[in-house]
């Protein structure tokens, strides 16, 4: 499925009024995150919920040509009690993909990132069941850029899209204010994914990074009304607590890349090459390297 780039250049007057103001863009640059106005209608939110249920019940509309090395992909065999993560849903499921490719999301991201073009980088459908003692329900502290070392861009960002009101009680996303401006303590292996690491180790790593930068750790839970979207910079530390509510917490993490982002070679401390999931899926560029502009997996959301 190749996404067609239709008229992403124009927004309606109603949509244009939803873009971040200059003051809000400056605040994003200072804090590393931004809570949008209502970008999805009630009907679109309801459609996301319905489409996700069809995805869980009936599976994807297509399969990936090969299975990437670090794919997150819940199946019913994993059981109902764990937190569900399903990557590439914008590509694998037509209905979810059509809603997630809303140009307004790209236009907001472009304003925040100061970019002329925004492409999808990755998408992950998430369901956090109402089981507060389930270990997988606690998402430890991490920054997305740490796991995107094969990217050249420092302007990538993530749109966290809940399918309902999202608050502390159901484990909303929590940001560490201003952490996108920190320099990382060197030496941590970026291929050790946060979901498979000890949470106490990552808490200690957050504290070490704060100390390395002479900074305090200021945790801010983001209270997100349905239809609104939380955007955060690729270097902003974030995580989430357990779901204490009676119903599942449903969301998509829509990772976004600016138009200048390209593949680069990157090595682990032991000298072996880092391979991101895209690298076995996307087309090759003229030099034979992974092409992160491949419209099949990285469609354009917005082009100014």
Report whether pLDDT(17) > 80: yes
Determine the Cα–Cα distance for residues 277 and 290; give it in Å rounded to an integer. Answer: 10
- Check residue 195 and give its pLDDT: 60
Q: How many CB atoms lie within 10 A of CB 302?
A: 25
Residue with structure tokens 């072996």?
272
- Angstrom CA distances, 248 to 28, 167, 217, stand at 29, 12, 29
Whole-angstrom Cα distance, residue 217 to residue 286? 44
Helix, strand, or coil (residue 119): strand
In terms of average pLDDT, the best of 28-42, 195-209, 260-274 is: 28-42
With a cut of 80, say whether residue 234 has pLDDT above it. Answer: yes
* CA 290 – CA 304 distance, rounded (Å): 25
Q: Are residues 157 and 233 in contact, defined by beta-carbon separation less than 8 angstroms?
A: yes
Could you report the per-residue pLDDT of 135-191, keeping only the tens digit for each? 888 889 999 998 999 999 999 999 999 999 999 999 999 999 999 999 988 766 656
Residue 193 has pLDDT above 70, yes or no: no
Q: Which phi-psi region, left, alpha or beta, contains residue 190 (left: φ > 0; alpha: ψ -120 to 50)?
A: alpha
Look up residue 294 and give its two tokens.
């491949």
pLDDT (0 to 100) of residue 5: 38
Cα separation, 171 vs 241, whole angstroms: 5
Angle at CA 143, nearest 5°, toward 140 and 144?
115
Point out which residues pair with 302 in neighbouring strands: 118
pLDDT in tens, 38-79: 999 999 999 999 999 999 999 999 999 999 999 999 999 999
């Amino acid at each position: 499925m190749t996404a067609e780039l239709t008229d992403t250049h124009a927004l309606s007057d109603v949509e244009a009024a939803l873009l971040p103001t200059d003051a809000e863009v400056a605040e994003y640059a200072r804090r590393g995150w931004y809570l949008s106005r209502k970008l999805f209608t009630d009907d679109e939110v309801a459609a996301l919920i319905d489409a996700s249920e069809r995805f869980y019940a009936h599976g994807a509309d297509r399969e990936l040509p090969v299975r990437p090395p670090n794919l997150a992909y819940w199946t019913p065999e994993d059981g109902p009690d764990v937190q569900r993560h399903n990557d590439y849903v914008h590509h694998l499921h037509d209905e979810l993909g059509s809603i997630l490719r809303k140009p307004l999301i790209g236009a907001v991201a472009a304003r925040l990132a100061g970019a002329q073009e925004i492409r999808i980088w990755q998408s992950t459908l998430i369901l956090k069941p109402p089981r507060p003692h389930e270990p997988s329900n606690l998402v430890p502290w991490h920054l997305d850029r740490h796991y995107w070392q094969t990217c050249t861009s420092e302007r990538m960002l993530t749109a966290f899209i809940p399918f309902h009101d999202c608050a502390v009680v159901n484990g909303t996303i929590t940001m560490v204010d201003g952490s996108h401006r920190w320099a990382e303590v060197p030496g941590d292996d970026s291929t050790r994914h946060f979901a498979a690491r000890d949470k106490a180790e990552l808490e200690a790593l957050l504290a070490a990074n704060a100390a390395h930068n002479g900074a305090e750790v200021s945790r801010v839970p983001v209270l997100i009304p349905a239809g609104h979207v939380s955007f955060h910079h690729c270097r902003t530390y974030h995580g989430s607590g357990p779901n204490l509510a009676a119903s599942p917490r449903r969301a998509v993490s829509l990772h976004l890349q600016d138009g200048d982002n390209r593949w680069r070679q990157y090595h682990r401390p032991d000298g072996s090459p880092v391979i991101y999931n895209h690298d076995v899926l996307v087309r090759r560029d003229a030099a034979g390297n992974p092409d992160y502009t491949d419209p099949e997996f990285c469609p354009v959301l917005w082009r100014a």
